Amino acid sequence: MTALDPDARSSALKDLPGWKYDLAYDALFRELTFSNFDAAFAFMTRVALTASRLDHHPEWSNVYNRVTIRLRTHDCHGISARDLELAAEINTILAASAPTQS
């Protein structure tokens, strides 16, 4: 597994609405706000099942209705194709989850 170079990373982010590059962590980043805790937790459960299937797990946190996600491949010390795949899957899950803002 190799880390994406900056040009490939920038290009890939164009196809991942809502995701940003977090320079401090060298990671993809997204923060979401849901209508309540139940909606946030339901979203996280769906992502957890997907992450297990892909064998690639996010760094994330949840405070009431907010979920923050960082995607980074530790094996290559940066962002890899695995992070892009999980980010795209998360966007698909979001389309069905209806966060109040993203």
> What domains does the chain contain, in order, with CATH numbers?
6-97 (3.30.1360.20)
Count of CB atoms within 10 A of residue 44's CB?
Answer: 21
More confident residue, 49 or 97: 49
Contact 25, 72 (CB under 8 A): yes
3-37 burial code (b ≥16 CB/10 A, e <16): bbeeeebeebbeebeebeeeeeeebbbbebebeee
Q: Residue 23 — pLDDT band, cuts 50, 70, 90?
A: very high
More confident residue, 94 or 99: 94
| Amino acid (1-letter code) at residue 47 | V
What pLDDT does residue 1 have? 82
Q: The whole model's pTM is what? A: 0.92
Q: How far apart are CA 79 and CA 48, in angstroms?
A: 19
What pLDDT does residue 73 have? 95
Residue 102 has pLDDT above 80, yes or no: no
